[in-house]
Amino acid sequence: MAAFYLFPRLPFELRARIWELTVEPRTVEVRGKREHGLSWRKLLHVTSSTPVPAVLQACHEARNLRLYQQAFIFPSAVERRYVWVNFDIDMISIGDTDFDTMDPAEQLLIRRLTIQRKNEFFLFESYHLFSNLAEMHIICEDGLMAWQEAWEAVPWPCPKKNLRFIDKETGQIAVGEDLDSMVAEWKEHYTTSSNSPSPQTTE
C-alpha cells in the first residue's frame, strides 16, 4: 500500500477520527500463568496470545488517544504484566481462568465475556461479579445438553438472548432455545425407544 505522506498535515480532529476507525472488535485471550503450570500454584502473571493492536505501534499520537487500555494486571500475580483491551467492544475470553484471579473493578468493565467450563453449581455463584455484561459465550466442556437446566434456571448476568453455548468438541453453537429442543428430542427418542416392543426371536 502506498504511503500517505500528507497525513500529518490533516487537522488533528480528522487524524483522530481516522485512528478511531482502525479500532475493530476482537476476541482477546486472557490467561493466568501459574508456577509449574499447576492450577493451585502461585500466580506468576497474565498471558495472552492476542497480538497488540497495530494502531498502538503506529505512533505516539495514536497511543495518546487511549483507544485501548492496559488491563488484567492481576493483583495477586508475581510479575506486573498487562493486556491491551477496549472493554467497549472486545470479547474477553478467559478460558478456565478462575474468576477471583481478576481485579473486581475490571470485572465490572467487561461487556463481552467467553468462558470455558463444566456445568457446576458453584460456578453460577460468581456470575454476579460481571454485572455489566451485555453478551456471554460459554464453551461447554461437557456438551450442550448439560447446560439446558442452567439456561432455564440461572440468573445470568446478561440478557438471555445474548447467551451463546458452544460445544467444546464439535464447535456447534446454540442459543438457549436450541438446548430446549435438543433435550426435548432426546427425551422423545428415549421414551419411544423404551416403549418399543422387544425384538421377537424365531425358532
Give per-residue pLDDT as tens, 159-185: 999 999 999 999 999 999 999 999 999
What pLDDT does residue 108 have?
96
For the record, the C-alpha cell of 78 comes out as 508475581
The helix or strand, by DSSP H or E, that contains position 32, with its residue range, turns out to be strand 31-34
Of 19, 20, 39, 21, the C-alpha closest to 31 is 39
SS3 135: strand
Query: From CA 134, how far away is CA 153, in angstroms rounded?
Result: 19
Query: From CA 93, how far away is CA 96, in angstroms rounded?
Result: 9
Average pLDDT in the chain: 89
The helix or strand, by DSSP H or E, that contains position 117, with its residue range, turns out to be strand 112-117
Report the Cα–Cα distance between both ends of the chain, in Å, rounded. Answer: 82
Query: From CA 124, how far away is CA 149, in angstroms rounded?
Result: 12
Tell me the pLDDT tens digit for each residue of 23-79: 999 999 999 888 876 665 788 889 999 999 999 999 999 999 999 999 999 888 888
Q: Is 184 exposed, middle or buried (0-12, 13-18, 19+ CB in 10 A)?
A: exposed
Within its chain, how far is the Cα of 108 from the centroid?
A: 14
Residue 125 DSSP code:
T
Classify the C-alpha dihedral 198-199-200-202 as positive or negative: negative
Query: From CA 51, how far away is CA 202, in angstroms rounded?
Result: 68
What does pTM read for this prediction? 0.85
